Amino acid sequence: MQFYELNTARNCLRVIIQAYGIKEIFIPYYICPTVWQACRAENCRIKFYHIDNDFYPATEFDKNAFILYPNYFGICSTNVIKLSNLYTNLIVDNTHSFFMPPCGIASFYSYRKFFDTADGAKLFINTKIQLPEDDYSYDNAPKNYTDFYNNEIRLNTEPPKFINKKTSEIMSKINFNDEKNRRLQLFYQWDKKLDNSLKIKLSENDIPFVYPYLSEKEFQENILIFRYWSPLPKKFLEYKFYKNLKPIPLKSSPTNNTY
């Protein structure tokens, strides 16, 4: 498997589509809009699919279809492994699961979602990609909200490039075992405290990105929560995830809940 470090996860997907010449791909309705935007940027036709209560595809695919499956919240590694055994052309979106081993014909990951970097994503793929060897993203590490906003705008329009060297330096200094343990500890603290409609059992490959709290109740903690993702029709099963799922950042504990 080939390994590359690119500027963004969405551009990893664009590169995957280019590398395999993908003309049609299945992606779930419940997903970040940047995913289908990346597909459309490559003139790749999208066929949407539903997921069930366990975040597993609620349909069967042709064995050779190109399928994108997101490892939701970093808790769906069992689904990933099952799908990789069923479908030849599975592509795994591990932007929520930095520590998951690669599966399928390609897996991509985000540095920015887990760590304080200006850019960064990693890609594992079963074929070579074509990018200019000297085409690197530049360092624009956000220092405040304005910097963060401007950096997001820049990355939204930046084509696939290699990761900037500053990000590589930051990543080389991170203690990944400490990060794993911290996330697991916070996850189980929240799980003990909250009455979650999702009954989550983590497998050995699950290191969560957030704590996915599904409840119709208001969340009373003093923590900033962002809704995932764009609105969905109320008739969709996935609508309850859009409406009632609160992705709690694993940056604070229930006993120290400032954010």
Pick from 119, 115, 123, 65: which is nearest to 94 by CA?
123
Q: What is the pLDDT of residues 237-246, one digit of tens each?
A: 999 999 999 9
- Phi then psi for residue 90, to 5 deg, are -80, 135
What gap in Å lies between CA 221 and CA 126, rounded to an integer? 44
Mean pLDDT in residue range 42-51? 98
Give the separation between CA 223 and CA 50, rounded to whole angstroms: 30
Residue 116: per-residue pLDDT: 82
What tens digit of pLDDT does each residue of 13-39 get? Answer: 999 999 999 999 999 999 999 999 999
pLDDT of residue 220: 82
The model's pTM? 0.91
- The pLDDT confidence band at residue 197, using thresholds 50, 70 and 90, is very high
pLDDT per residue as tens digits for the range 53-98: 999 999 999 999 999 999 999 999 999 999 999 999 999 999 999 9
DSSP 90: E
Distance from C-alpha of 100 to C-alpha of 75, rounded to nearest angstrom: 10
Stretch 159-163: mean pLDDT: 88
CA distance 222 to 84: 39
Q: How many residues does the chain have?
A: 259
- Residue 225's pLDDT is what? 87
Mean pLDDT of 178-201: 96
pLDDT (tens digit per residue) in 94-134: 999 999 999 999 999 999 999 988 889 999 999 999 875 55
Complete domains list, the chain, with CATH? 2-171 (3.40.640.10), 176-249 (no CATH)
Q: How far apart are CA 111 and CA 9, in angstroms?
A: 9
Q: Under a CB-based contact definition with an 8 Å cutoff, are residues 50 and 58 in contact?
A: yes
- The token pair at 157 is 């329009």
Instruction: Give the H or E element holding residue 149.
Output: helix 145-157
Residue 184 and residue 250: Cα distance in Å, rounded? Answer: 9
Residue 259: beta bridge partners?
Answer: none
Phi/psi class of residue 43: alpha, beta or left (left: φ > 0; alpha: ψ in -120 to 50)?
left
At residue 35, what is the residue type? V
Q: What is the mean pLDDT of residues 229-252?
A: 94
Beta-bridged to residue 25, according to DSSP, are 46
Class of residue 45 by CB neighbours under 10 A (exposed 0-12, middle 13-18, buried 19+): exposed
